[in-house]
């Protein structure tokens, strides 16, 4: 995996905002009501480009040990005992025959598509135990609770998790997703809702058709934010609200996408994903006329890994289950780190009527 920094002059490093956002609305100083192309000067855009990746169980675990050490040093939680425990554990891992002989896989990105992944995942997507969803859901709901009721689009609605809540709040809801398998689950759950199989880049809606757009845990699948955010701006009425959640950039380093299973060509494959710093959202959203109402980076809870869980057996593929081979290092690397970013934007302008 290679990280390509397209622009280094980051203007927005970290924004947590609840109030009037004119302070950070750089690039909108002319009051221009039309969407404007990003100048490139506001905000860096870091794009994650996956090339061939060799995934070895031992390499992954040594990486976790390294992340634990670096974080401990940075945050002042690494005392002598902690550092020595890491070094001892690294030696043990290196000397463990099953790990030393565990074969890695060379994974090519892109031979497996989001459609392939969600075909497999659709029947289980709503099963309990998805930590990202557990953390994200109440925070997204809290924002939705405060919005005026009207017509709402759940863009990349998946199985209809937030569609259901929007309907309960009284919105007229439309769901759009590219995966027929995820949509099948959504239709089963909400037979009265209007669902469309469509892409985020070409929403099957007229201009100014909705009051609210919700797009959760899906933008990491799109290589460029700008065209999708422009679609959201097109279908939103002036003054409309956009609520977004997305996997946090740190997740891509601390808990990277791992090869799930062979792709259609029979070879191990990685799903291409695009993780971005907060500046990238701002760089694309502000010139379209979106203003920030809220931004939040909730963290993973502490003790999210049960240290008592036995590390055996070794998974056939490098897997997040490997974390149980070094629970203390995993906790030190992962606990209390931001897991998602949640945005509430509002399109400038005033609703008519």
Ligand X SMILES: C[S@@+](CC[C@H](N)C(=O)[O-])C[C@H]1O[C@@H](n2cnc3c(N)ncnc32)[C@H](O)[C@@H]1O
List residues near ligand X by CB under 6 A: 114, 118, 156-158, 161, 177-179, 182, 199-200, 216-218, 221-222
Nearer to ligand X, 221 or 276 (CB): 221
In the bound state with ligand X, the residue whose beta carbon lies nearer, of 183 and 305, is 183
Q: How many Å apart are CA 312 and CA 157, to the nearest integer?
A: 36
Preceding amide of 313 cis, omega within 30: yes
| CB closer to ligand X, 136 vs 211 | 136
User: Which helix (H) or strand (E) is 347 found in, with range?
Assistant: strand 340-347
Which residue is it, tokens 């494959």?
269
Q: Is 256 helix (H, G, I), strand (E, B) or coil?
A: coil
Distance from C-alpha of 334 to C-alpha of 331, rounded to nearest angstrom = 5
CA 340 distance to own-chain centroid: 6
Alpha carbon 233 to chain centroid, angstroms: 21
**Helix, coil or strand: residue 98:** helix
To which residue do tokens 């992340």 refer? 67
Could you tell me the smallest distance in angstroms from the CB atom of residue 334 to ligand X?
A: 20
Kindly tell me which of 72 and 158 has the beta carbon lying closer to ligand X.
158
**Closer by beta carbon to ligand X, 182 or else 282:** 182
Nearer to ligand X, 59 or 227 (CB): 227
Nearest residue (CB) to ligand X, 179 versus 291: 179
Sequence-distant (6+) residues with CB within 8 A of 345 are 241, 242, 243, 244, 285, 290, 291, 292, 293
Shortest gap between Cβ of 41 and ligand X (angstroms)? 28
The dihedrals phi and psi of 340, each to the nearest 5 degrees, come to -140, 160
Q: Given the complex with ligand X, which of 199 and 297 has the nearer CB atom?
A: 199
| DSSP structure string for 270-306 | E-------HHHHHHHHGGGTEEEEEEE--BPPTT-S-
CB-based contact 179:115 (threshold 8 Å): yes
CA–CA dist 128, 299 (Å, integer): 19
Q: Which residue is nearest to ligand X (CB)?
A: 158
Q: How far is the CB of 57 from ligand X (least distance, A)?
A: 26
What per-residue string of b and e applies to 83-94 under the rule 16 or more CB within 10 Å gives b? eebbeebbeebe
CB of 134 to ligand X, least distance (A): 12
Rounded to a whole number of angstroms, the minimum distance from the CB of residue 183 to ligand X is: 8
- In whole angstroms, how far apart are CA 153 and each of 140, 148, 163, 243, 289? 14, 14, 8, 10, 19
Q: In whole angstroms, how close is the CB of 124 to ligand X at the nearest point? A: 12
- Give the shortest CB-244-to-ligand X separation in angstroms: 10
Q: Shortest Cβ distance from residue 217 to ligand X (Å)?
A: 4
Q: Of 56 and 137, which CB lies nearer to ligand X in the complex structure?
A: 137
Instruction: Give me the least distance between CB of 185 and ligand X, in Å please.
Output: 9
């Amino acid at each position: 995996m290679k990280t390509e920094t397209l622009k280094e002059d980051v203007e927005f490093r970290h924004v947590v905002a609840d109030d009037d956002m004119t302070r950070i609305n750089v690039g909108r100083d002319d009051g221009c009501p039309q969407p404007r192309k990003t100048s490139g000067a506001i905000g860096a855009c870091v794009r994650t480009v996956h090339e061939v990746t060799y995934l070895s169980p031992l390499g992954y675990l040594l990486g976790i040990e390294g992340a634990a050490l670096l974080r401990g040093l940075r945050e002042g939680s690494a005392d002598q005992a902690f550092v020595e425990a890491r070094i001892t554990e690294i030696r043990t891992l290196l000397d463990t025959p099953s790990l030393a002989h565990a074969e890695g896989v060379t994974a090519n990105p892109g031979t497996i598509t989001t459609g392939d992944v969600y075909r497999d995942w659709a029947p289980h997507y709503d099963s309990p135990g998805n930590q990202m969803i557990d953390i994200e859901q109440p925070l997204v709901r809290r924002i939705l609770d405060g919005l005026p009721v009207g017509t709402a689009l759940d863009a990349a609605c998946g199985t209809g998790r937030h569609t259901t809540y929007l309907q309960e709040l009284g919105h007229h809801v439309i769901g759009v997703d590219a995966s027929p398998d995820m949509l099948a689950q959504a239709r089963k759950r909400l037979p009265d809702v209007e669902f469309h199989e469509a892409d985020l880049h070409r929403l099957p809606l007229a201009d100014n058709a909705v009051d609210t757009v919700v797009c959760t845990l899906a933008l990491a699948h799109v290589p460029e934010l700008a065209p999708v955010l422009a679609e959201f701006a097109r279908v939103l009425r002036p003054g409309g609200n956009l609520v977004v959640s997305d996997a946090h950039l740190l997740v891509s380093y601390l808990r990277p996408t791992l090869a799930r299973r062979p792709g259609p060509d029979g070879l191990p494959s990685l799903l291409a994903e695009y993780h971005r710093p907060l500046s990238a959202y701002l760089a694309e959203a502000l010139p379209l006329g979106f203003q920030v109402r809220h931004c939040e980076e909730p963290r993973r809870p502490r003790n999210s890994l049960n240290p008592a869980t036995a590390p055996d057996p070794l998974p056939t593929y490098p897997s997040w289950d490997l974390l149980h081979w070094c629970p203390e290092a995993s906790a030190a690397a992962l606990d209390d780190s931001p897991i998602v970013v949640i945005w509430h934007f509002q399109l400038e302008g005033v609703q008519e009527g």
